[in-house]
Amino acid sequence: MKKNTIGNISIAIHGGAGTILRSNMSDTLEREYTNALKEAIDKAHSILVEGGSSVNAVEVAVKSLEDNPLFNAGKGAVFSHNGENEMDACIMEGEFLKAGAVAGVRNIKNPISLARLVMAESPHVFLANEGAIEFAKTKKVAFEPNDYFFVKSRYDQYIIAKENDEIMLDHTSTTAVSKNNNKFGTVGAVALDLDGNLAAATSTGGMTNKRFGRIGDSPIVGAGTYANNNTCAISCTGHGELFIRAVVAHDISCLMEYKNLTLKEACDLVVHSKLIKIGGEGGLIAIDAMGNVEMPFNSEGMYRAMKKNNDVPFIGIYKM
Ligand code: ASP
């Protein structure tokens, strides 16, 4: 794989994949999503234009989505079985394969920034639960009270899930949930900077009514998040258990590295064939070292956006 010698920059983001149907969306809500995606991509793009790093760009994009209650991350994180918001996040850079991740963290305003601190300022890669919170207290990390994370629609979704004894993807259309039209999701970003470095970041509240310290694919390096300058940067969204079993992000990288597949061929094989064979619903965003972007999904829709160089940004929600 060649390096970025032609000064390409690229950024792609997602806000979750799932049963997202035009028929269930109001114009106002659609506008709110589009604006949120546009704001996140613009913030990240301006960092890349100024020569900033892909790691900075993906962190800023994800933070912007975490701060928006429309998405299942940070402020809008779903509720676990115990009524708490337990969040997972991961960030990875493709030059030295450095990564940082946190799982099951509570009251952290921006879990992605905590993941970055794990990467940059700890000797470890992955911190969970109380330990991760203890680590956060030793750093300048913003904490928020429970109220900050309370989003009425997510709480209603949690009560329904609990009553039906279901564990739900935030945007899964079960009969009960689709009545409430609650279709939001995990967030992620991938970027290529002017130095030819790739980075990926993913942040989530996981699944509504999850129990027993359940951790999804998002914070797991190689499953929901991966970056390698030799191949690609990937951030996934979908049913985490299946994405873990398929080691989705790393599989795409391996298909490129060992089988010489293009980004598109590798993404299509994993999302539209390998994942489907095991019942894995969802999608991902991917960038290669030349700035090519792919955003495949095998669900009804995926909140997504991309911008390459100075092109007009693409923003999409439904199947094309
Ligand atoms: N992949 C996430 C998880 O399983 C959920 C999502 O993408 O919305 O935790």
pLDDT mean for each 10 residues of the chain (320 residues): 68 93 90 97 97 98 97 95 96 98 98 98 98 97 96 89 84 45 74 98 95 96 98 96 97 98 98 97 96 96 96 94
The residue annotated as part of the active site, out of 172, 186, 204, 208, is 186
Among the atoms of ligand 1, which is closest to the Cα of residue 224? 1
Pocket of ligand 1 contains residue 206 by CB under 6 Å: yes
pLDDT attached to residue 23: 87
- Contacting residues for 274 by C-beta, under 8 A, at least 6 apart: 246, 251
Identify whether 186 is a catalytic site residue: yes
Pocket of ligand 1 contains residue 280 by CB under 6 Å: no
pLDDT attached to residue 110: 98
The type of residue at 95 is E
Pocket of ligand 1 contains residue 185 by CB under 6 Å: yes
Q: How far is it, in rounded angstroms, from Cα 63 to Cα 218?
A: 15
Pocket of ligand 1 contains residue 217 by CB under 6 Å: yes
By alpha-carbon position, which residue is closest to atom 9 of ligand 1? 206
Among the atoms of ligand 1, which is closest to the Cα of residue 206? 9
Give the side-chain half-sphere CA count within 13 A for 205: 40
